[in-house]
Every structure is written in C-alpha cells, then in structure tokens.
C-alpha cells in the first residue's frame, strides 16, 4: 500500500514544470514568458511557424541552452547548471533531433550501447542485450551490425530513438524527428513514436505531423513569436483553433 500511495503522489506532480521562462539571443526575444507543465505519461505536441522558438524551448529543457529568467524543473528539481547533476539530467531526458546524429564510425549496435556502457557503466553483455531489445522494438534489430550510412533515413532515425531509450529516460524530447525524411519513411518513425506514447512515455514532440498529433497527443501547444498562443486538445486545436494566428498557420499546412 505505501508504495502505491507514493506512486500516486508522483503522478500528480508534473514531470516538467516550465515557469515564466525568457530567453534572448542578443536583441531577439525568442522565448517570452513561457509557462506550462507536462505530467508524467503525457504527450505534448508543439507546433508553430519556423522561428517561433520551438527548438530553443526543447534545448532549454535539456539545458543545451541557458535561459535568462524563469525556471524549468524536471521531477521537481531545477535544471542543474553543470557537473554530475547535469549529466544525470541529460541521461534522464532523451533527445532526438531532425538530423539523426548517429556516430558514423560505430555500428548501429555500438551507437545504442555507447552511453549505457560509458555513463551508466553497464556491462557489455547487459548493454548488448538491452540494445538488441530496443532495436527490435523500433524494428531494426536485423541492422545491428551495419554502419549508420548503410541504413535508410527512417531506419537511422529509429536507431536514434533506440539510442535515446537506452538511457531509460523519464522524458523524450523529439524536435522535428521526421522533417528530414523522405515521405515514405515518415510513417515508420511516427509509428514508433505512437507506440512509445502508448507505452506511457512522457513526450514533448515538435512536429507538424497532424496525424501523429491526433493519434498520440494529449495536448497541442501552439507557439508563435516566442509565445504559447494556444494550448488545447488535438481535436479542439485542429477542428476549432481559437486564435487568428493558429487559424492562419493551419490554413497553410493542412
């Protein structure tokens, strides 16, 4: 019983809390007083025009960018500035970018085992076993011994997802993970993301893939000019966007 109570308490606390976050690049005010929370197990899709600050927000959550004011907390803890605590944060937050960023001179399997063996000090056999399970989960187990360049873009992006999952992150940040892919490969990556969402992973995904948002998102967060302009369920947002800015954006992409 105590264990269950503890679990329930954790569910009610947001995994990610973003409070009044501001960020400038020189004169440019890229994040304007951003406030939102993401609960454990929640899937949030961030959409908005190019240059609206989506990537900067993702990078700030992983502390790849510093912020000027406000606070970001993961699991109740403010983002650490440096050192071991920052390394732990990076391990807890998996990140997948538009460009796959696999290590070109390592095999697919080695790409997935590298961080667990180096950072988590997992044994090679444990890391290999776990990596093969993850590669199987994303449908590329039969490519394990190949080099990344021998794989299609869709396969490489699925390896990138497996690599992020290998650290057993609490949160996955995906920044336009399908934008660099040929159209026929987009769905194979989205299917993996949908499955991840169904398995209960907390996710923040920047994507313009409305099908994914409708299938998997609990909430859509629409950004424009560094602000969160609208926050709604996918149905509310796509069927009846409230702001003129969102209506205009959707009319251009749908």
Q: Summarize as ranges the residues that interact with ligand ADP (CB under 6 A).
A: 25, 28, 30, 48, 50-56
* Partner whose binding site includes residue 56, from ligand ADP, Mg ion, none (CB under 5 to 8 Å by kind): ligand ADP
Return d(Cα 105, Cα 86) in angstroms, integer: 27
- Cβ contacts of 129 within 8 Å, gap of 6 or more: none
Task: Name the residue nearer to ligand ADP (CB basis): 50 or 251.
Answer: 50
Return d(Cα 94, Cα 232) in angstroms, integer: 25
Compute the Cα dihedral for 59, 62, 65, 67 and give only its sign.
positive
**Minimum distance between the CB of residue 99 and ligand ADP, rounded to whole angstroms?**
13
**Opening angle at CA 149, ends 125 and 88, nearest 5:** 50
Task: Name the residue nearer to ligand ADP (CB basis): 25 or 103.
Answer: 25
**Minimum distance between the CB of residue 34 and ligand ADP, rounded to whole angstroms?**
11
* Partner whose binding site includes residue 53, from Mg ion, ligand ADP, none (CB under 5 to 8 Å by kind): ligand ADP
Task: Name the residue nearer to ligand ADP (CB basis): 35 or 66.
Answer: 66
Task: Name the residue nearer to Mg ion (CB basis): 49 or 80.
Answer: 49
Pairing of strands 227-232, 219-224: antiparallel
Number of helices followed by number of strands (H, E) in the chain: 10, 10
**Minimum distance between the CB of residue 177 and ligand ADP, rounded to whole angstroms?**
13
Q: Shortest Cβ contact with Mg ion: which residue?
A: 55
Task: Measure CA 81 to chain center.
Answer: 20
Q: Are 126 and 161 in contact (CB under 8 A)?
A: no
**Minimum distance between the CB of residue 200 and Mg ion, rounded to whole angstroms?**
26
Task: Name the residue nearer to ligand ADP (CB basis): 41 or 51.
Answer: 51
* Binding positions for Mg ion, rule: CB under 5 A: 54-55
* Partner whose binding site includes residue 30, from ligand ADP, Mg ion, none (CB under 5 to 8 Å by kind): ligand ADP
Q: Which one-letter DSSP state was computed for residue 226?
A: T
* Partner whose binding site includes residue 148, from ligand ADP, Mg ion, none (CB under 5 to 8 Å by kind): none
**Minimum distance between the CB of residue 223 and ligand ADP, rounded to whole angstroms?**
7
Please provide residue 61's backbone torsions phi and psi, each rounded to the nearest 5 degrees. Answer: -65, -30
């Amino acid at each position: 019983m105590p264990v269950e109570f503890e679990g329930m308490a954790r569910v009610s606390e947001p995994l990610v809390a973003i409070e009044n976050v501001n960020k400038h690049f020189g004169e440019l005010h890229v994040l304007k007083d951003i406030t939102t929370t993401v609960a454990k197990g929640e899937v949030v899709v961030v959409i908005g025009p190019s240059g609206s600050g989506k990537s900067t927000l993702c990078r700030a959550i992983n502390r790849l960018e510093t912020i000027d004011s406000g606070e970001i907390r993961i699991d109740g803890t403010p983002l650490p500035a440096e050192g071991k605590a920052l390394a732990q944060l990076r391990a807890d937050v998996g990140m997948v970018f538009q460009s796959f960023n696999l290590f070109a001179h390592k095999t697919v399997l080695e790409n997935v085992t590298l961080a667990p063996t180096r950072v988590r000090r997992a044994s090679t056999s444990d890391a290999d076993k776990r990596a093969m399970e993850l590669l199987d989960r994303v449908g590329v187990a039969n490519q394990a011994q190949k080099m990344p360049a021998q794989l299609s873009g869709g396969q490489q992006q699925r390896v990138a997802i497996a690599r992020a999952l290998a650290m057993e992150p609490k949160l996955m940040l995906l920044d336009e993970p399908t934008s660099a892919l040929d159209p026929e490969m987009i769905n194979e990556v989205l299917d993996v993301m949908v499955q991840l969402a169904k398995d209960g992973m907390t996710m923040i995904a920047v994507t313009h893939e409305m099908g994914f948002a409708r299938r998997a998102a609990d909430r859509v967060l629409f950004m424009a000019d560094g602000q969160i302009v609208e926050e709604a369920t996918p149905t509310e947002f796509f069927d009846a966007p409230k702001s003129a800015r969102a209506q205009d954006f959707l009319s251009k992409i749908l």
